[in-house]
Structure 1
Amino acid sequence: MADRLVRISGSPRSVPASGRERGTIDPMLPGLLRGVIFISVLAAPFVAAILAG
């Protein structure tokens, strides 16, 4: 029983502590980039119409 507890507590963690904090910020960037691309694609016809006069 004691061997099992030592093995379980000694197993490496899948995510390091420093990666958890950074992991909450990284997924926001692709979402923001997709949002900017989506807005620019929607705005392109209006910008073209304004430039065409």
Structure 2
Amino acid sequence: MAAGRLVRNSISLRALPFPDRDPGGTIEPMLPALLRGVIFISVLAAPFVAALLAG
């Protein structure tokens, strides 16, 4: 009986870290950096766009 419980515990421990490796979790930290990059590019491009619109 104890051996079956030991096998079950070792299987559950091996399966525990698996949900941390889902693809959605790796994209999430990239979103703030992506948003900062978009804001940075738009701030850099704003004077050029204004000059183009002014003629």
Alignment TM-score, normalising by the size of structure 2 = 0.58
| Greater helix fraction, Structure 1 or Structure 2 | 2
Q: Deviations over 1:14-33 (max 9, x none)?
A: xx642442331111111111
Q: Percent identity?
A: 77
Which residue in the other structure is 2:29 paired with? 27
Q: 1:48 aligns with which of 39, 47, 50?
A: 50
CA distance in 2, matches of 1:48, 1:34: 21
Partner-residue secondary structure (3-state), 1:24? helix
Alignment TM-score, normalising by the size of structure 1 = 0.60
| Structure 2 residues without counterparts, runs of 5 or longer | 1-8, 10-16
Q: Which runs of 4+ in 1 moved over 6 A?
A: none
